[in-house]
Structure 1
Amino acid sequence: MDKILERYERYSYAEKVLISAESETQGNWCHEYRKLKAKVETIQKCQKHLMGEDLETLNLKELQQLEQQLESSLKHIRSRKSQLMMESISELQRKEKSLQEENKVLQKEHCSFLQLVEKQKGQRQQPQWDQTPQQTSSSSSSFMMREAPPATNISYPVPVAAGGGRVEGAAPQPQPQARIGLPPWMLSHLSS
């Protein structure tokens, strides 16, 4: 029985301690809540002042403090902005350099490609030039065969003696007669 009573007292004491601790905690929470609520209100009021609202309640000294705070904030903002801009500029300069180097490499490759193409064209045309004289002679002979008139009747007058007879042993004098259809260079060749 003593053991049971002892256990009962122990549990009841522990329960009292828990209840008292809980009530203290509740009191602490209420106190903490009031503190946090006051902080939130102060921060909201400060934010309104920074946004330019509710300035009627501020006196001259508070307005000057607010102005100094805004100026220092602006300095920090501008310094951060210029730092970001400088970083951006340096990054763009690095990109520009890399693109210029890449462009130079591509230009060199393009030039070497063009030289290679020119060499290949030269190698292709060289065999054609070697064959050109043979082709020219065969094509010119075929041209002559096609373009030459069928038969030219060029007659040479025979010298006549005073009595109307022929002169023996006289060589005929070539005198080309113009024939329609012969080019002038052929006529000059025939007359010489």
Structure 2
Amino acid sequence: MGRGRVQLKRIENSSSRHVTFSKRRNGLLKKANEISVLCDAQVALIVFSCRGKLTEFSSHSSSMDNILERYERCSHSEQLAGTNSDSQGNLSLELFKLTTRAEVLQKNIRNYEGEDLDPLSLKELQSLEHQLDNALKRIRMKKNQIMMESISERHKMEKALKDQNNMLAKKVKEKEKKALITPPQQYPFDFNVSPPQLPSPPTLTLGGTREEGGAMLVGDNEAEAEAGPSNNIVMPPWMMFHMTS
């Protein structure tokens, strides 16, 4: 039986839709490659799946960026020629360029992360590997440079701390030598200390005394207490000597 005609409508089954997309995409890429080789034509193919996966193809004679730039020039040549003063057309063209470049950059980023590698050819994979190797070498060189600078800085700090420690130890030794050579300090006399109190000389009184054998005897305390207070006259010893002679 011959193959029937496929009805052109959306396939509802997701797995069948994915299988059909993969088959048709591979066939489309094959046809694009054939027309570019047989007819020496510049072919650019961009396909986005329903899941947002990008698939692109460009002829070997030119890159995707060159074909897109040529497309922009051809598609907007009439508009740019007739509306040079129209700023809206310039903005639209600039927006289209930026959008295209953003898509290319996003694709490159995904390739660098190891994603969307199926559409790439062997030559493109080798080029991507070479770019990653060069980037890795530059990263390692920068890392080693930063590590060496950090180690050198730490050595300088260690040397400065050692010098400071030696200086402090030298100062301590000098102070210890000065303490051994310096004689003990003599403290001055303290004038705040009061001198010792000398005993006062005995005093003789006329009242309450009696004379026996040329000697003066002090009377009894009880008799003096009964007689009451008396006017005692204090006399120096030399006067007492003349009175008894």
The normalised TM-score by structure 2 is 0.39
Looking at secondary structure, tell me which structure has more helix per residue.
Answer: 1
Looking at secondary structure, tell me which structure has more strand per residue.
Answer: 2
The normalised TM-score by structure 1 is 0.49
